[in-house]
Structure 1
Amino acid sequence: MMELFFLSVYLYRNRVTIYKLIMILKQFHRSLYISELGKHASFSQMEAKTSAKESQVKPIVIMLPWLGASEKATEKYAQLYRSLGFNVIKKDSEMTDFLWPKKGFENCKNFLTQLEDNTQPIVVHSMSIGCYFYSLMLLAMENEPEKYANVAKNIQFQVCDSPVLGTLKEMAFGVSSMVTNNSAMRALMKMVTLGYFSLSKPFTVKYYDTVIELIKYRCPAVPSLLMTSKNDPMACPEAFQSFVKAWEDRGCKVTTKIWEKSEHARHLHNHPNEYKALITDLLKVGFKIESKL
């Protein structure tokens, strides 16, 4: 906590505003991922505009990947679902969706607006920061139930892969891990992020508390799959188990998978056969599954 105090003093003395700090974090992230974000940061119109015939017969997977996920990496998930007979709509997140929740909330509502007329069953598959974006979707649907009624009622399954659960320290570590693999830079980014949380508490931390409580206690009561690993530094084991219990108490039929060793949001890569089996077993409860893999 002393490091956080001294960082706050430094930021104050140097008149580093919240906005400037967001720009610093955002620019640092862009310097590492600009080529990927430039291609994949927005709603994919190509994936959304499936033919009318296809959209009438195929259920939809809304895929919410981790921050900076490459097209090559996310395509493996999309192929898995397509092989099971689903259309896939992917929505990438930006760093500012998390660092400035109000912006993320607006982006979320824009995304949901494009799904308003959908009548097909929906599977939500969120990963890492994508789980946070999913919580923003739930907040929007709760705030405007009539507007997003079609989306809400059609969510039939939900998958949360590597949710970042725990304290602000886990969140800060998550942010630092999303932008760099360098241990020294991670430590610096974690300190800067904690400082940012401290300075922006009314606009960030309170928002995080709201959406975490919402997704934990007021999520859709549908069959669900939660995945994490024991060596994931972004997931507190106690917080994960509390999350599972809350969903079970909510009425969700919850399947959990906790690997002994598996990298954050890399479970499909590390355990491909088991991962595919988990998804297939979840979905065959509600859909006729004929895998083409």
Structure 2
Amino acid sequence: MATWKNRRFLSTREITKNMTFFTNEPFNSEVDPKTLEFKKPSRNPLVLIMAWLMASQKHLRKYAQIYTDMGFDVMAVHVTPWQLLWPVKGTQVVAADTLKFMEINKSYAPIVIHGFSVGAYQLGEVMLQMARDMERYSQVLDRIACQIWDSAADITEIPIGVPKSIFPKNPRMQSALRNYMLYHMKTFHNQATIHYMRSSQMFHSTLVKQPALFFVSENDPIGPPSSNQAVRENWERANIKVSFKCWERSQHAAHFVRHREEYLECLLKHLQSCGVIESVGLKTRAKL
């Protein structure tokens, strides 16, 4: 069990329609709407949350507060179903803004990536844009210290995950939307599916070589252990250190809700092993 001081205060600021910033300090910095540069950057390290589809602000705040209570700032990136369906005008635009923010705000170091579900695809889109100019973006990659993946979903799970995210309690609508998703991916191969495939390939090969922690459960059809295990094997072949926490029963992108103490214990241990706890001067008592 891990415990730390709860500072309770949480300041929230919408940076773009798809990016929400959280900090434990009063947010009084101006943000350039074109460059996304903070005029008065904080000295805190940053957690980049790549959110699940249909993530509510209420739930994002819960995850953000895990980190703000430890002294991190948090940027949560969230996309809509429409943006996922039409990547060129949707998720790729959000990816460009995400990369722009990390590039221009150089004071944010180290950076922790904490992704959920479709957030794996979204980070793949970010990395594809990085790959076009590695010399330019190497400073962003150098500042990333570790990564956490909660219920990461691959492209094969998109027709399953999207309907469950939009209609969590309506099986009939889930079935109808699942059929449409299959039609969409087949009919709009060049406009959508090819981008999902490229992002998936990038996620499996990854530019982020820092240690990773995976949270999965046996009963999750959207982010099953099998697809996450495939990523793990690819990363370990690339000499990336990977930790894997698999529950027999849990809930997609809600392991923290179902297994709070274990989740926090694994997370804190991972952050400590990657050396990011020292960067925020966290005073913590932990039994690991």
TM-score class normalised by the smaller sequence = 0.7 to 0.9
Q: CA shift at 1:207, angstroms?
A: 1.4
- Write the mapping of 1:1-293 to structure 2, written as runs, cut at 5 A: 41-44=17-20, 55-56=42-43, 58-103=44-89, 104-117=91-104, 118-119=106-107, 120-165=109-154, 167=156, 170-181=157-168, 182-285=170-273, 286-287=275-276, 288=278, 289-291=282-284
Q: Cα deviations across residues 204-240 of structure 1 (Å, max 9, x unaligned)?
A: 2221111111111133111111111111111343322
Percent sequence identity is 28
SS of match in other structure, 1:61: strand
Higher Cα radius of gyration:
1
Q: TM-score, normalised by structure 1?
A: 0.79
Runs of 5+ unmatched residues, structure 1: 1-37
Q: Cα deviations across residues 231-274 of structure 1 (Å, max 9, x unaligned)?
A: 11113433221111111111211111111111110111111111
Residue matched to 1:8: none
> Which amino acid is 1:155 matched to?
I
Whole-angstrom distance in 2 between the partners of 1:71 and 1:238 = 30
Whole-angstrom distance in 1 between the partners of 2:199 and 2:155 = 14
> Which amino acid is 1:68 matched to?
M
Q: CA shift at 1:50, angstroms?
A: 7.0
Aligned residues: 253
Runs of 5+ unmatched residues, structure 2: 1-13, 30-38
Residues 95 and 125, structure 2, Cα contact 8 Å, conserved in 1: yes
Q: CA shift at 1:41, angstroms?
A: 4.2
* Gap change, CA 1:46 and 1:225, over 3 Å in 2: closer
The structure with the greater share of residues assigned to helix is 1
Q: Cα deviations across residues 23-72 of structure 1 (Å, max 9, x unaligned)?
A: xxxxxxxxxxxxxxx9984223675967688722x211011111121122
Residues 64 and 93, structure 1, Cα contact 8 Å, conserved in 2: no
Residues 166 and 236, structure 1, Cα contact 8 Å, conserved in 2: no
Residues 83 and 292, structure 1, Cα contact 8 Å, conserved in 2: no
Q: TM-score, normalised by structure 2?
A: 0.80
> Which amino acid is 1:215 matched to?
F
